[in-house]
Amino acid sequence: MFADFKAQPADKILELMQLFRDDPRQGKIDLGVGVYRNAEGVTPVMRAVKSAEQRLWSEQETKAYTGLLGDPAYATAMCGLVLGDAVSQDSIAAAATPGGTGAVRQGFEMVRYGNPDVRVFVSDPTWPNHISILNYLGIETVTYRYFDANTGGVDFPGMLADLEQARPGDVILLHGCCHNPTGANLTLPQWHEVIEVMRKTGALPMIDLAYQGFGDGLDEDAAPTRAVAAALPECLIAASCSKNFGIYRERAGLLITVSQDASNTPLARDTLAFLNRQNYSFPPDHGARVVTMILDDPALRDDWQAELEATRLSMLDLRHQLAAELQKLSGSDRFAFLGQHRGMFSRLGATPDQVKALREKHGVYMVGDSRMNIAGLNAKTVPLLAKAIIDTGI
């Protein structure tokens, strides 16, 4: 049997990581891998996480299974962080998952379970794993226009026109904030226009919220998700703790369903439990419990929010530094969009040949579609990147 397996295409980001490791040059810059790094190039353990883990180590008395949906306290804490008071508690069902990717996968499983003929509308471009998972599950995908390479912003008229083609039973996959891979985001008024389109078409919104707190602030980044949940009959939300709590390897995520008809909530909860049972049974708990401890303890929460805000501002400062340096070197504002984008990523707008030239001639590593991780920069490498961009003719 094993000899009959098909060889899988290589993961482009993993390939890029290996190329970077093999490059002997001292001044090389890694803008490919999607993790936050501080000015020293380290992905740190947050202070509040360390404190919570120390307390957990001393207080925890069992490693027995949690329930199929995970610890209820985790769901309560995370739903409060994501949704605030936008919807009533009896309209919410939630299941802990192995990271945000696990929540996305379970969300796709859920919509297929509810409608075997479901179509999922995805932005062009989107996080590549969205497409990979949908293809693996045999779910039809429909792309909608999103990124305008000429302006570095959102092609909003094109997006609306494409979303208007959705039908009842379709799913619209939306990035809650800090769009990956482009960094270009909708304004809140534009979100309300998208809500009206979904209201008219009857399509189900599914929001991938992987970067809450990395864009404009915790509540500001959650505002679009809260608006969708409050305005439409139903929605799905896949939330991740990997970035904003810095616990990538602990795999803490949450899949949330919201139904304005609260009588549907028990059935949604049972379905979430059923799907978890078919996949991994009981979800991992360590990261989820650490998150719960932080969110439920005022002192830990304050410290976490302070460090998260410092992280957000550091990325925003790097954006402004890079945009200013490029303006100085190019004598134009054509890179101003980099300062307007939010989150870890921006799409530079370079061709694959230009991305290759950046790597080979300047030791700058980014994904082939010119997505770059802003958090891979620091004050010393910003001028080097800017010069490499201009020298490459981008």
Residues known to be catalytic: 127, 208, 210, 243
Distance in angstroms (rounded) separating the CA atoms of residues 154 and 177: 13
Determine if the peptide bond prior to 125 is cis (ω within 30°). yes
For residues 233-246, one letter each, b for 16 or more C-beta atoms within 10 angstroms of the residue's C-beta and e for the rest, the string is eebbbbbbbbbbbb
Yes or no: say if 77 and 295 are a contact pair by the CB < 8 Å rule: yes
CA atoms within 13 A on the CB side of 256: 32
Yes or no: say if 29 and 377 are a contact pair by the CB < 8 Å rule: yes
Q: How far is CA 216 from the centre of its chain?
A: 14
Distance in angstroms (rounded) separating the CA atoms of residues 77 and 83: 10
Degrees to nearest 5, angle at CA 390 with 385 and 394: 105
CA atoms within 13 A on the CB side of 167: 6
Name the β-bridge partners of 236: 206, 257
